[in-house]
Chain A
Amino acid sequence: MRTALIFIAGVSVILTLALAPAIGGMFDNGPLPPLSAVVPADNPQTDAKVRLGMQLYFDTRLSADNTISCATCHKPATGWANHDSTDTGIKGQVGGRNSGTIVDAAHMKFQFWDGRAGSLEEQALGPIHNPIEMGETLENVVRKLNAIPGYKQQFQEVFGTDVTTDGIAKAIAAFERTVVSGPSPYDRYVMGDRRAMSAAAVRGMKIFNGKGHCTPCHSGPTFSDQGFHNLGVGMNKPKPDVGRIEVTKDPKDWGRFKTPGLRNVAVTFPYLHDGSEKTLMDVIELYNRGGVPNRNLDPLMQPLNLTRQEKEDVVAFLEALTGPFPVLEAPPLPPDAEASGAR
Chain B
Amino acid sequence: MRSARCAGWVLVLAASIGLWASRAGAIPAFARKYGFQCTMCHVQFTKLNDFGVAFRDNGYRIMGKEAEEKNVFETPTPVSLRTSAGYNNDTFTNRGGEAADVRAFQLNGLDLLSAGLFSDRIGYFMVYTPEIKGSRSVAAQDGTLEMASVVYGVRSAPTPLTVRLGRFEPAYLAFSAKRSLTVAPYDVYDFAGPDGLAMSDTQTGVEVATVLPCRLKLACGWVNGNESQPSSDSPSGLYLRASRTQRRGEGQVVGQRAGVFAFFGRSRLADGTGNRESIRRLGLDASLNFGQTNVMAQYVKGKDDAALNAFDPRRDYDFSGGFVEVNHSFPREMVGFARWGWVNTPAEQDQDVKGWTLGARYYPEMNVAVHLEYAKREVDHGADEGTSDLEETIWTLRADFAF
A residues in contact (CB < 8 Å) with B: 1, 3-4, 7-8, 10-11, 14-15, 17-20, 22-28, 206-207, 209-211, 213, 215-216, 219, 225, 229, 289-290, 293, 297-300, 302-305, 307, 309
How far apart sit A1 and B37, CA to CA, in the bound complex (Å)? 35
Sampled A-B contacts (28; CB under 8 Å): A1-B135, A3-B133, A4-B6, A4-B13, A11-B13, A11-B110, A15-B17, A18-B32, A18-B77, A23-B75, A25-B31, A25-B36, A26-B34, A26-B68, A26-B70, A27-B36, A207-B39, A209-B37, A209-B40, A210-B40, A211-B37, A211-B40, A299-B64, A302-B50, A302-B254, A303-B249, A303-B253, A303-B255
> Chain A contacts of B137 at CB under 8 A?
4
With A302-B248, A303-B248 as given contacts, are A4 and B26 in contact (CB-CB < 8 Å)? no
The chain B residue with its CB closest to the CB of A15 is B20
Q: Across the interface, do A18 and B366 meet the contact criterion of CB distance under 8 Å?
A: no
> How many angstroms from the CA of A23 to the CA of B39 in the assembled complex?
21
From B26, B40, B110, give the contact of A10 (CB < 8 A).
B110
Q: Identify the 8 closest CB pairs spanning chains A and B, nearest first.
A: A25-B35, A210-B37, A210-B39, A299-B63, A299-B157, A303-B254, A299-B158, A211-B39
Distance A225 CA – B137 CA, assembled complex (angstroms): 48
Q: How far is the CA of A225 from the CA of B79 in the complex (A)?
A: 26
Q: Are B80 and A7 in contact (CB under 8 A)?
A: no
B76 within 8 A of A: yes
| 19 new A-B contacts at CB < 8 Å, known A7-B132, A18-B403, A305-B253 | A1-B5, A11-B13, A15-B403, A20-B77, A23-B75, A23-B76, A25-B36, A26-B34, A26-B68, A206-B39, A209-B35, A210-B39, A211-B49, A215-B34, A290-B254, A299-B54, A303-B249, A305-B249, A305-B291
Which of chain B's residues has its CB closest to A26's CB?
B34
- A10–B82 Cα distance when bound, in Å, is 12
Contact A19:B292 (CB < 8 A) given known A211-B40, A215-B36: no
- Please tell me which one of the listed residues A206, A215, A219 contacts residue B366 in the complex, with CB atoms under 8 A apart: A206
List of B residues within 8 angstroms of A206 by Cβ: 37, 39, 366
Q: Which one of A22, A210, A297, A302 lies within 8 Å of B76 (CB-CB)?
A: A22
How far in angstroms is the closest Cβ of chain B from A111? 21
Return chain B residues, CB-CB under 8 Å to A22. 32, 76
User: B54–A302 contact, CB under 8 A?
Assistant: yes
Closest to B331 in A: A309
Is there an interface contact between A302 and B35, defined as CB atoms closer than 8 Å?
no
Question: Which residues of the partner chain B approach A303 to less than 8 Å between Cβ atoms?
Answer: 50, 248-249, 253-255
Among A11, A17, A26, the residue within 8 A (CB) of B35 is A26
Taking a contact as CB atoms closer than 8 A, the residue among A4, A18, A229 that contacts B9 in the complex is: A4
Residues from chain B with Cβ under 8 Å of A219 in the complex: 35
Specify which chain B residues have a CB less than 8 angstroms from the CB of A25 in the assembled complex: 31-36, 75-76
Q: Is the CB of A7 within 8 A of B39?
A: no
Q: Which one of B10, B24, B76 contacts A4 once the chains associate, using CB atoms below 8 Å?
A: B10
Instruction: Check B110–A7 contact: CB distance below 8 A.
Output: yes
Nearest CB in chain A to that of B26: its residue: A19
- From known contacts A300-B64, A302-B54, A305-B253, infer whether A14 and B81 are also in contact, taking CB-CB under 8 Å: yes
Q: Do the beta carbons of B70 and A20 come within 8 Å of each other?
A: no
Q: Mark B245-289, 1 if CB is under 8 A from A, else 0.
A: 000111001110000000000000000000000000000000001
Which A residues touch B34, using CB under 8 A? 25-27, 215-216
B38 CB-CB contact with A under 8 Å: yes
Nearest residue, chain A, Cβ from B254: A303
- Which B residue sits closest to A8, measured CB to CB? B13
Q: B152 on the interface (CB 8 Å rule)? A: no
- The number of residue pairs between A and B whose CB atoms lie closer than 8 Å in the complex comes to 151
Instruction: Report the nearest A residue to B29, measured CB to CB.
Output: A18
- Chain A residue with Cβ nearest B81: A14
Q: Which residues of B contact A297 (CB under 8 A)?
A: 158
With known contacts A18-B32, A25-B34, A213-B40, A290–B158 Cβ distance under 8 A: no
Bound CA span A299–B153, Å: 16
CB neighbours (8 Å) of B248 from chain A are 289-290, 293, 302-303
Q: Is B184 in the interface zone, CB < 8 Å from A?
A: no
Instruction: Select A305's contact among B35, B68, B254, beta carbons within 8 Å.
Output: B254
User: Does the CB pair A302–B70 fall under 8 Å?
Assistant: no
Q: Which residues of B contact A27 (CB under 8 A)?
A: 34-36
CA distance A302 to B248 in the complex (A): 7
Q: Are B6 and A17 in contact (CB under 8 A)?
A: no
- Are B132 and A1 within 8 A (Cβ)? no
CB distance from A208 to the nearest CB of B (A): 9
**Could you tell me the distance between the alpha carbons of A22 and B138 in the complex, rounded to whole angstroms?**
31
User: In the complex, A10→B13 CA distance in Å?
Assistant: 12
Complex Cα distance, B75 from A125, in Å, reads: 41
Counting chain B CB atoms within 10 Å of each CB, the highest count among A216, A229, A293, A298 belongs to A216
A17 to B26, CA, bound (A): 11
B39 to chain A, nearest CB (A): 3
- Distance between Cα atoms of A213 and B248 in the complex (Å): 15
**What mask results when residues 126 to 144 of chain B are scored 1 for a CB within 8 Å of chain A, else 0?**
0000101101011000000
Q: Would you list which residues of chain B between 204 and 262 have a CB under 8 Å from chain A?
A: 248-250, 253-255
Inter-subunit contact B76/A300 (CB<8 Å): no
Residue of A nearest to B156 (CB): A299
Interface: B107 (CB within 8 A): yes
Q: Check B374 for interface membership: any CB of A closer than 8 A.
A: no
Q: Does B62 count as interface, using CB distance less than 8 angstroms? A: yes
- Residues in A with CB closer than 8 Å to B255 are 303
Q: Is the CB of B62 within 8 A of A216?
A: yes
B76 in contact with A20 (CB, 8 Å): yes
Given A7-B107, A15-B403, also A307-B331 (CB < 8 A) = yes
In contact, B81 and A3 (Cβ under 8 angstroms): no
| Given known A-B contacts A4-B6, A26-B34, A26-B75, A19 and B403 have beta carbons under 8 A apart | yes
